[in-house]
Amino acid sequence: MNNQSSTNETKLTDPVGRLRNYITEGGFSQGVKLPPERHLTDELGMTRTTLRKALDALERDGLIWRHVGKGTFMADKSQTRSVNETVQLGRQLTPFKMMRARLTIEPSIAREAAVNASGDTLAGMRRALDRSRKATTWEAYEIEDDAFHRSVAEACDNLLLMAMFDQLNEVRRAVAWGNVERKTVRPSLDHVSFAQHEAIAAAIVGRQPQDAYDAMRAHLLSVSSRLFGET
């Protein structure tokens, strides 16, 4: 058996090599979204756990990047280094330290939003709140939860703070959170985050900076308590 044949067989048996081969043969270009995981597991004959480990490996290499709730995308080669650094940073952080970082940064962003929010950004915040209540799955809710927090960052009207938020969010996605147990298909109508988000929005709309800071901090402490039993 020649070396080329041996290499091809290794690609077929190695999940990472098989996924790389699929991407190469599929001609996926920079910025293109890969098929959903359920499609990839069928195409590649892998379990979802094996596929996710292979995706992790390619993300560490900077070939792809993943956005929770939106999917997996081919990385822009001009941004490969920064994407890879973000992934590596996220993998070095514990979920608890990630939450501490959010507690340090996001309440201050909410305070600035209460000072600087425009009518358009307030409307965007309202849309995210309304869509989150209508979410029929946890995945859909998490997309709108992400959109709400991003809308608060937009409302602060400060490009540096928005960039800091986006970096924080990218690192958050790379942190290994493990399996969060969900006892229902979707958030219940009295899900605690709904009222907490409304309190944040009300303080921003009311131009009350300290109340916005306190409401965001209370919300993140509540999330932390649910995840880690910490207050």
pLDDT digit string (tens) for 51-79?
988 888 887 777 887 765 677 888 776 55
Read off the CATH number of the domain in which 145 is found: 1.20.120.530
What average pLDDT does the segment 170-185 reach? 72
Given this model, what pLDDT does residue 61 score? 73
Reply yes or no on whether the pLDDT at 114 is more than 90.
Answer: yes
| Average pLDDT score over the chain | 84
| Residue among 46, 76, 64 nearest 173 (CA) | 64
Looking at the structure, tell me whether residues 108 and 193 fall in a common domain.
Answer: yes
What average pLDDT does the segment 201-226 reach? 96
Looking at the structure, tell me whether residues 206 and 123 fall in a common domain.
Answer: yes
Looking at the structure, tell me whether residues 53 and 104 fall in a common domain.
Answer: no
Looking at the structure, tell me whether residues 81 and 98 fall in a common domain.
Answer: no
Read off the CATH number of the domain in which 75 is found: 1.10.10.10
Q: Which long-range contacts (CB under 8 A, 24 or more apart) does 55-58 make?
A: 55/19, 57/16, 58/16, 58/19, 58/20, 58/23
Structural domain of 61 = 3-85
Of 33, 67, 85, which closes a domain? 85
Dist. CA 223–CA 231, nearest whole Å = 9
Looking at the structure, tell me whether residues 135 and 66 fall in a common domain.
Answer: no
Looking at the structure, tell me whether residues 178 and 106 fall in a common domain.
Answer: yes
Looking at the structure, tell me whether residues 200 and 97 fall in a common domain.
Answer: yes
Dist. CA 67–CA 178, nearest whole Å = 16
Of 66, 85, 104, which closes a domain? 85
Looking at the structure, tell me whether residues 76 and 97 fall in a common domain.
Answer: no
Looking at the structure, tell me whether residues 64 and 122 fall in a common domain.
Answer: no
Looking at the structure, tell me whether residues 76 and 126 fall in a common domain.
Answer: no
Looking at the structure, tell me whether residues 104 and 212 fall in a common domain.
Answer: yes
How many separate domains does the chain show? 2
Reply yes or no on whether the pLDDT at 128 is more than 60.
Answer: yes
| Residue among 92, 96, 122 nearest 110 (CA) | 122
Residue 103, H or E segment: helix 95-116
Looking at the structure, tell me whether residues 57 and 101 fall in a common domain.
Answer: no
Given this model, what pLDDT does residue 178 score? 56
Question: What predicted TM-score, i.e. pTM, was given to this entire model?
Answer: 0.64
| Tokens found for residue 150 | 């991003």
Of 50, 85, 120, which closes a domain? 85
